[in-house]
Chains A and B, each alone.
With several copies, the nearest count.
Chain A
Amino acid sequence: MSAPQRKTDIGPPHFKQFLPPVIQKNYGSWKYHEVLRPGTMVHVAESGDKVWSVRMASPRLISTDFVRDICDVADKYCDGFFRFTSRHNVEFLVSDESKVKPLEDDLKKRGMVMGGIGSRVSNIVHTQGWVHCHSAATDASGLVKIIMDEFIDYFTTKELPNKVRFAVACCTNMCGAVHCSDIALVGVHRKPPIPDHARIPNTCEVPSTIASCPTGAISPDPAKKSVKINNDKCMYCGNCYSVCPALPISDPVNDGVAIVVGGKVTNLRTAPKFSKLVYPWLPNNPPKWPEVTNAIKGILEAYAKGAQKHERVGEWIDRIGWEKFFKVTKIPFTFQHIDDFTFARETFRTTAAFKW
């Protein structure tokens, strides 16, 4: 079978063909919405028209069969129209109220999980991990699965003071939104790369390897036509490994997961915030990472208990102060928490007013 005529630079399909008629008609003329259930909301247009969205969890890493299942459901209840959210959930877009309940029932029957709308945990923005990336210090999909299993009730039913956005990145490149998430995990190394002097001369370009190191820890080793690592300067970022595969940095024992919290993206109330380090390292204990889920549990429960309505994790912490946060969560405070990077001085406490 000969291949069809290839085309280039056509860009993506125009979105309009994928909008259900009710959306085409009321495009840009929505008036308000109501959250009916944790997985169902209705948007009402100026015209009075309504569109129901039924939100269903997805593991993001899905098979073509999963997509076809979605298509089946969409065909049955919403003329084949659906979308994904920016957090990888599926949203069925229903224009006929009578089909909402049957759709929900059908999804339940299929073992699907609905939820994530409102002041809840939603799906997790994450990355490739051991499934596909050479750079990963931990897996992403596995961590996401165990976290969502653990906190499933906060997706399907229970409410929190506000939305809690999780993110997982498998290395410090932090593909995704770890740096601005309520609670996020990032895979970290803790030992310098070990130069493979046999391979470096042929595999790597020495000058660009040296240049790749943000801390200047790499210097030439002319005798070996290789490089040396100054272990005191290395902060295990793995950037050199990205440039030179003969600088392996993975270490099953010392790699692990750091937890950062208190970030947000939205501009509501307070400016977007960066996440801050709270657990510098927890062990990689696949497939269940019990230390990680446990740690998150402590944080989430302290937040659920301490935060006022509409406070995001970071807003709650800002109100009570980091010293109090460490107290109520009982997280040990270590040297790693104290910034020693470029902007360290902005993080030191410059006031005599703090809590005991």
Chain B
Amino acid sequence: MPKKYDTPLLDQLEKGSYPSFVTEIKKAAAKNEQANDLLGALEQCYKDKKTHWKHGGIVGVRGYGGGVIGRYSDIPDQFPGVAHFHTVRINQPSGFFYNSKALRELMGLWDQYGSGLTNFHGSTGDLVLLGTKTEHLEPLFAEVSSRGWDLGGSGSAMRTPSCCVGPGRCEWSNIDTLDITYNITQEFQDEMHRPAFPYKFKFKTSGCAVDCIASIARADCSIIGTWKGDIRIDQDAVKWYAKNGMDINAEIINRCPTRCMSYDGKEIKIANEDCSRCMHCIAKMTKALRPGKEKGATILIGSKAPFVVGALLSWVIVPFMKMEPPYTELKELTRKIWEWWDEHGKNRERTGELIERKGMRNFLEFIGVNPQPAMIKEPRRDPFYFWQPDELK
């Protein structure tokens, strides 16, 4: 494909030592008309300091209500190659693991049916195929699905779940993040592909409270691995850290949020009943400290971006849940939550927002969970609360 546009502004973003997305677009542009026009269209945005994309109309593949984001240029005459430029969300494998064979095949298909540009990955977690025409959607889907790939979520549906690397490569994972993610994705295929919820619903799973998938900040259901029982201490390794120059008091003991640790210059002691399992000491002394042995997860609900009344972090709903396949308890809980949300949720009302609007009690009673102090940072301040008739005389 010959160079079609001068891009003096974008060209400046090929300098500097970090790999350049402009170079990537140019690489694709060299053999792809759509990518070539994207380059021109993007330069135009840089010149005009504004976006040139219009609203997406509803486009998709047969039998699916989501997985494709429609997108049209507002200056299609200038850049016909991106007149339509829809993205296709491919559901990534758990933990973003790949091998070369599978991806080479997929990339080949994308060169054939799309712009040759991708996002590894979208911030929800999908493998995003970035930009194709409406008429390519069906053939592309036939090709990729026949090779074992499926679409991710979009619209008012369950969104593509994602997770941290977990047991795949991390010593702290208390749960099988990869399997949980795969399992619930399979279980809820229908909820993912055929939007029928009041709004989007996201799952993210982290193996421990380090939360390397940022689940607590951006998942309607955040699953975070944790443990019961004492932190396991290898006192020889403690000595090794001390010898290797770690200031154990400054770095560990004094930074423990619950002040439940002590160090006498030789050994570390932990008052485990006061430990909040924040992971600090374990993360900073991986050779010496390891989580306790009874494994499970804390289920937190509700996080989201700031629209409409400010961002939410997820709230603890089930302090401890055993996580063993087939994850029946989690699935039942999920279905209960969706049932309640379906019944009461307004259009474009996320689960967390609904809980706020209806009150935690209404939610907990419906899903059958008892009130527990772990659910709150602090009890209410005001003296204005309700009683149910059966609580009175």
Q: How far is the CA of A124 from the CA of B287 in the complex (A)?
A: 29
Partner of B276 from A188, A341, A353 at Cβ < 8 Å? A353
Nearest Cβ distance between residue B145 and chain A, in whole angstroms? 4
Q: What residues of chain B lie closer than 8 Å to A278, measured between beta carbons?
A: 379
Interfacial chain A residues near B313, Cβ < 8 Å: 180, 272, 274, 350-351
A30:B279 contact, CB within 8 angstroms: no
Q: Are A267 and B19 in contact (CB under 8 A)?
A: no
Known: A8-B64, A277-B380. Is A350-B100 also a contact (CB below 8 A)? no
Any A CB within 8 A of the CB of B361: yes
B351 adjacent to chain A (CB < 8 Å): no
- Residues from chain B with a CB closer than 8 A to the CB of A132 are 53, 69, 71, 85, 87, 130-131
Residue pairs across A and B with CB atoms within 8 Å: the count is 517
Q: Within the complex, which residue of A62, A235, A342 is in contact with B118, where a contact is CB–CB below 8 Å?
A: A62
- Supply 10 further A-B pairs (C-beta < 8 A) apart from A131-B130, A133-B51, A338-B371: A12-B94, A58-B120, A60-B119, A61-B25, A132-B85, A139-B45, A176-B123, A180-B214, A214-B309, A268-B210
Beta-carbon nearest neighbor of A133 in chain B: B53
- Given A27-B167, A179-B311, A258-B383, A356 and B228 contact (CB-CB distance below 8 Å): yes
A344 within 8 A of B: yes
A345 to B63, CA, bound (A): 39
Return 5 A-B CB contacts under 8 Å, by A number: A7-B145, A255-B50, A326-B373, A338-B379, A349-B316
B56 touches A60 (CB 8 A): no
**Is the beta-carbon distance between B379 and A277 smaller than 8 angstroms?**
yes
Q: Pick from B24, B49, B145, B280: contact of A268, CB below 8 A.
A: B280
User: Within 8 Å of chain A (Cβ to Cβ): is B80?
Assistant: no
Taken together as a complex, chains A and B put the C-alpha atoms of A177 and B87 apart, in Å, by 21
| Residue of B with least CB distance to A65 | B27
| Binary interface encoding of chain B residues 22-46 relative to chain A, with 1 for a CB under 8 A from any of its CBs, else 0 | 1111011000000100100010011
Scan A75-103; emit 1 where CB is below 8 A from any B CB, else 0: 10001111111101010010000000000
A324, chain B: closest CB distance, angstroms: 7
Note all chain B residues with C-beta closer than 8 A to A66: 24, 27
Q: Give Cα distance in the complex from A173 to B209, angstroms.
A: 26
Cβ-defined contact, A172 with B169, below 8 A: no
Asked if A28 is an interface residue, CB under 8 A from chain B, the answer is yes
Q: Count residues of A near B (Cβ-Cβ below 8 Å).
A: 162
* Cβ proximity bits A260-292 to B, threshold 8 Å, 1 near / 0 not: 101101111111101111101100101110000
Known: A6-B142, A11-B182. A333 touches B371 (CB 8 A): yes
B5 at the interface (CB under 8 A from A): no
CB contact under 8 A between A3 and B315, given known A66-B24, A173-B307: no
Verify if A43 is at the interface (C-beta below 8 Å from B): yes
Judge whether A287 and B9 touch: CB under 8 Å.
yes
Determine if B378 and A145 form an interchain contact, defined as CB atoms under 8 angstroms apart.
no
Chain B, Cβ-Cβ closest to A127: B123
Nearest-CB distance from B159 to chain A (Å)? 11
A282-321 interface with B by 8 A CB criterion = 284, 286-288, 309-310, 319-321
Of B9, B107, B226, B255, which one neighbours A64 at CB under 8 angstroms?
A: B107
Closest 10 pairs (CB-CB, A-B)? A149-B16, A71-B100, A28-B167, A339-B380, A350-B313, A340-B359, A130-B45, A18-B97, A252-B49, A80-B100
Do the beta carbons of B186 and A82 come within 8 Å of each other?
no
How far apart are A307's CB and chain B's nearest CB, in angstroms?
Answer: 13
CB distance from A121 to the nearest CB of B (A): 11
Q: In the assembly, what is the distance between CA of A157 and CA of B138, in Å?
A: 46
B16 to chain A, nearest CB (A): 3
Which of B98, B164, B224 lies at the interface centre, i.e. has the most chain A CB atoms within 10 A of its CB?
B98
A9 contact from B21, B146, B190, Cβ within 8 A: B190
Cβ-defined partner of A4 (8 Å) among B91, B142, B251: B142
Could you tell me if B377 and A13 are in contact, using CB atoms closer than 8 angstroms? no
* CB atoms of A335 and B361 under 8 A apart: yes
Give the residue name and chain of the B residue nearest to A64 (CB): B107
Neighbouring A residues of B376 by C-beta, 8 Å: 322, 337-339, 347-349
User: Which residues of chain B are near A27, meaning CB under 8 Å?
Assistant: 167-168
A47 interface residue (CB < 8 Å to B): no
Within 8 Å by CB of B378, from A7, A112, A134, A347, lies A347
Report whether B97 and A267 are in contact in the complex, using a CB–CB cutoff of 8 Å.
Answer: no
Chain A CB within 8 A of B305 CB: yes
B110 contacts A by Cβ under 8 Å = yes
From B56, B100, B120, B273, give the contact of A88 (CB < 8 A): B120
* B95 partner residues in chain A, CB cutoff 8 A: 15, 83
Q: Is the CB of B216 within 8 A of A352?
A: yes
Q: Return chain B residues, CB-CB under 8 Å to A125.
A: 123, 214
Residues of B within 8 A of A180 (CB): 214, 216-218, 311, 313
Beta-carbon contact of A145 and B13 below 8 Å: yes
In the bound complex, do residue B42 and residue A80 qualify as a contact, i.e. CB atoms below 8 Å apart? no
In the bound complex, how far is the Cα of B316 from the Cα of A336, in angstroms?
A: 17
How distant is the Cα of A63 from the Cα of B256 in the complex, in angstroms? Answer: 45
Question: Known: A28-B176, A74-B99. Contact between A130 and B46, CB under 8 A?
Answer: yes
Partner of B107, one of A23, A68, A347: A68
Residue B2 interfacial (CB < 8 Å): no
The smallest beta-carbon distance between A87 and chain B, in angstroms, is: 9
Establish whether residues B310 and A342, one from each chain, have CB atoms under 8 Å apart when the complex forms.
Answer: yes
Q: Any chain B CB within 8 A of the CB of A205?
A: no
Scan residues 358-393 of chain B and give those whose CB is less than 8 A from a CB of chain A. 359-361, 364-365, 371-387, 392-393
* Cα distance A274–B304 in the bound complex, in angstroms: 11
